[in-house]
Amino acid sequence: MSYPYQIKNLEAYHEAYKNSIENPEKFWGEIAEHFFWRKKWDKVLEWNFKEPSIKWFQGGKLNITENCLDRHLNTMGDTPAIIWEPNNPEEQHRTITYKQLHHKVCQFAQVLINNGVKKGDRVCIYMGMIPELAIAVLACARIGAIHSVIFGGFSAQSIADRLEDAQATFIITCDGAFRGAKDIPLKAVIDDALIGNKTIHRVIVCTRTRTAVSMIEGRDVWWEDEIKKVDAQGIHFVEAAEMDAEDPLFILYTSGSTGKPKGVVHSTAGYMIYTHYTFVNVFQYQLHDIFFCTADVGWITGHSYIVYGPLSAGGTSLMFEGIPTFPDAGRFWSIIDKFKVNVLYTAPTAIRSLMGFGLGPIQGHDLSSLKILGTVGEPINEEAWHWYDEHIGHKKCPIVDTWWQTETGGIMISNMAGITPGKPGWATYPMPGVAPILVDDKGNEVTEMEEGLMRGNLCITQPWPATLRTTYGDHERCRTNYFVTYDNLYFTGDGALKNSEGQFRITGRVDDVLNVSGHRIGTAEVENAINMHSGVVESAVVGYPHDIKGQGIYAFVIYTGSHGQDTHGTSDLVRKDILQTVTRIIGAIAKPDKIQFVAGLPKTRSGKIMRRILRKIAEGEIKSIGDTSTLLDPSVVDDIVKGAI
Ligand code: WT7
């Protein structure tokens, strides 16, 4: 495996960038030549952002697992594909070579076939971070089933909604998952999600924690038993399904500004090529580097930079089951030392939380194998950037600040390690093929600088290969969410700055979406969950700056009874009840950090909640609340300010 398209210096970046924008078909067509195709494409790109309709490599036939596994077997069969570090450091780690991974994926693909899974079926995967999760994902791709991984932190209700939306027919799960000192009963959550479900035929349960689980005859089967059957059949190889370039590869649910998460759909060839290209270039990946992405496969970062990007490049992907603070806050550093990790890709929230433990936990761990550091998920504050640079990278590792989204499939704006210059707090340069512009609220391109900076809403003018293709089951939703706000542009939902050198700094969401510890949460979704709590009349949720999480969730709640006190106890108890409801409806990740009981919400005469005012109160910026004269009842603001937490 070699990467002839790996960019080696600044001039080459500028050259590639120019070519990619002037002639995207030629640019991506040449890169695509380096992959394994059953049949070459007829046309590299056809698109319009009106419908939208985006088609890359039409007519091409391929299977992504042949590109991630089979094509490496001859030259790199014994190279580790996945190194897995368990939650408990006392437990043995596992190393799975390309040959072994190929074998395991074939075996499990046969399990899926034996259980009746067919090309195009939607398979929900709800597992902890064990190698079997990657195997399940790849086995789906091998037979052309569409995987939809759900993060282990989501509740039964969230899973039920997603199963319904995707019309999923199969589930792959575990008995439980180990995360830090906790043991999460995944199968029990699935059982709750399945009450009343009519579409699921089968649940395949992989053993991890050996927690007691109920196994329903005719519906639930054990992973290990199913593998034994495949062995008894004597099957070691499963032919990969021939997929169209534009066949959907997976659905991944993500929050937006409406109450219901949407199923972002990525298709096969474009996603594969783009995640591969960005992996190789942003991280300047060299064969045999140990690449450690600390994300969970339940999020897009894990899909693209634990599974598909690294494996398509014949890379070695380190997968970690646990959390950064277990058994102590030195866990990442001990893993880096243990496996001589070369590239670390993590989130600002993790860096900030580890910073809080001081330098002690780093001591005694040799971090000298590190060459490159990366961050993703939210803007990184300068303090965290410098700490990462000094204490983890020892000022010798470039830090790549990678901006992208579930919908973009892969990294969109980032420096390339050691190739293009980085800048603390700035994602900097667009990837080849990515054409970002800033527009004002009317959609006009911002061209004027103010104090050396342009400021606007971040949009993309032309498709890149991993553009989302649709939102599952509702194409209109995809159109209105991303392609209607500004004519003929993909709107990211983020605000950004651009300097005279053409570098970008992402300032954060400009819609009603929060970013809590790098996870996207829609305010409307949290409000819906709070409103389901008995006794809640109405609520409004906003974000506020949080030292570790980036943003915290602040909920203003109108509750029957006086300020949250009723026959059910004190307001503290009612707060806890509401948190419990949110945990049930969405999951613990969406729990508000603060709940303030209020008598009324600031509304305009037409009944719209003025979130701007609530945001100011939550941020503690009472002085800059601004004009309240358009409110139906301006006095509610004073009351809320008085009760602010
Ligand atoms: C939102 C996307 C992409 C994987 C993780 C999150 C924010 C992401 C950065 C960054 C500033 C960032 C944006 C974006 N974001 N990376 N490097 N700098 N902001 O994926 O859940 O789809 O969230 O995360 O606001 O829109 P996601």
User: Taking the alpha carbons of 359, 365, 369, 374 in that order, is the dihedral positive or negative?
Assistant: negative
Residue 365, token pair as written in the block: 């761990």
Tokens representing residue 337 in the block: 């030392």
The predicted pLDDT at position 567 comes to 59
Locate 300 and state its tokens: 């897009």
C-alpha distance from residue 612 to each of 268, 402, 494, 565 (Å): 41, 29, 17, 28
State the CB neighbour count (10 A cutoff) for residue 517.
20
For residue 506, give the ligand 1 atom closest to its CA.
11
Structure-token match 């293009």, residue found: 420
Ligand 1 geometric centre to CA of 525 (Å): 18
Q: Are 398 and 344 in contact (CB under 8 A)?
A: no
- Cβ contact 577:551 at 8 Å: no
Q: Which residue in the block uniquely carries the two structure tokens 């932190």?
A: 153
pLDDT in tens, 273-289: 999 999 999 999 999 99
Assess contact for 279 and 239: CB atoms under 8 A: no
515-643 maps to CATH 3.30.565.10:
no
Q: Which amino acid is at 490?
A: Y
User: How many CA atoms within 13 Å lie on the side-chain side of 312?
Assistant: 27
Query: How does strand 248-254 pair with strand 202-206?
Result: unpaired
83, 318 in Cβ contact below 8 A? yes
pLDDT of residue 569: 63
Domain parsing of the chain, residue ranges? 98-241, 515-643
Q: Which atom of ligand 1 is nearest to the CA of 414?
A: 17
H-type helices in 125-250, by residue range?
131-143, 156-166, 186-193, 223-233
Q: What is the CATH number of domain 98-241?
A: 3.40.50.980
If one residue of 255, 308, 378 were mutated to test the ligand 1 pocket, choosing by the most ligand atoms within 8 A of its CB, it would be 378
Q: Which of 445, 423, 449 is nearest to 435 (CA)?
A: 445
Q: How far is CA 372 from CA 25, 188, 402, 404, 447, in A?
A: 31, 40, 13, 19, 34
Q: What residue has token string 């860096």?
A: 351
269 alpha carbon – ligand 1 mean position (Å)? 23
Task: Tell which residue, 563, 562, 555, has the closest CA to residue 594.
Answer: 555
| 98-241 and 515-643 in the same fold | no
Atom of ligand 1 nearest to the CA of 401: 17
Q: How far is the CA of 246 from the centre of ligand 1 (A)?
A: 25
Let me know: does 263 contact 253? Beta carbons within 8 Å: yes
Q: 404 CA distance to ligand 1 centroid (A)?
A: 5
pLDDT given at position 298: 97
Say whether the peptide bond before residue 52 is cis (omega within 30 degrees of 0): yes
Q: Average pLDDT of the chain?
A: 96
Distance, CA of 154 to CA of 253 (rounded, Å): 11
Site of tokens 């789906």: 140
Residue among 149, 264, 271, 376 whose CB has most ligand 1 atoms within 8 A, to mutate: 376
Helix (H) or strand (E) holding 615: helix 611-619
Distance in angstroms (rounded) separating the CA atoms of residues 431 and 426: 14
Compute mean pLDDT per 10 residues along the chain, 645 residues long, and list them. Answer: 97 98 98 98 98 98 98 98 98 98 98 98 98 99 98 96 98 98 97 97 98 97 98 97 98 92 97 99 98 98 98 98 98 98 98 97 98 96 97 98 98 98 97 98 95 97 98 98 97 97 96 92 96 94 95 95 59 92 96 95 92 94 87 91 90
Residues 195, 153, 69, 9, CA torsion sign: positive
> How far does the centroid of ligand 1 lie from the alpha carbon of residue 494, in Å?
9
Q: Which ligand 1 atom is nearest residue 519's CA?
A: 21
Token pair 């693209």 is at which residue? 304
pLDDT, residue 564, reads 53
Q: What separation in Å is there between the alpha carbon of 347 and the centre of ligand 1?
A: 10
Closest CA relative to residue 432, chosen from 216, 247, 277: 277
Strands 372-376 and 343-346: parallel
What is the C-alpha end-to-end distance of the chain, expressed in Å?
A: 57
Q: Which amino acid is at 531?
A: N
Place of tokens 């709940």: 595
Share of the chain above pLDDT 70, in %: 99
pTM: 0.97
Instruction: Give the binding-site residues of ligand 1, using a 6 Å CB cut-off.
Output: 254, 300-301, 376-379, 401-406, 427, 492-494, 506, 508-509, 515, 518, 520
Closest atom, ligand 1, to C-alpha of 513: 25
Nearest CA to ligand 1 atom 1: 405
Tell which one of 294, 300, 520 to mutate to probe ligand 1, the residue whose CB is within 8 A of the most ligand atoms.
520
Phi, psi of 594 (to 5 degrees): -135, 135
Q: Cβ contacts of residue 90 below 8 Å, gap of 6+?
A: none
Which pairs from 386-393 meet CB under 8 Å and 24+ separation? Answer: 386/424, 387/351, 387/355, 388/351, 389/424, 391/359, 391/362, 392/333, 392/344, 392/362, 392/367
Give the model's pLDDT for residue 565. Answer: 58
Give the pLDDT confidence score for residue 570 in this predicted structure. Answer: 73
Q: Whose CA is nearest to atom 5 of ligand 1?
A: 377
**Which of ligand 1's atoms lies nearest the C-alpha of 375?**
17
| Residue 457 three-state SS | strand
Q: Which atom of ligand 1 is nearest to the CA of 404?
A: 3
Give the containing element (helix H, strand E) for 637: helix 635-643
Structure tokens at 608: 């719209």
Do the bridges between strand 202-206 and strand 177-179 make them parallel or antiparallel, or are there none, so unpaired? unpaired
The sign of the CA dihedral 417, 420, 423, 428 is: negative
- Which of 404, 408, 426, 549 is the best mutation target for the ligand 1 pocket, counting ligand atoms within 8 Å of the beta carbon and taking the most? 404
Query: How many other β-carbons are positioned within 10 Å of the β-carbon of residue 61?
Result: 17
| Choice from 255, 515, 517 to test ligand 1 binding pocket (greatest atom count within 8 A of CB) | 515
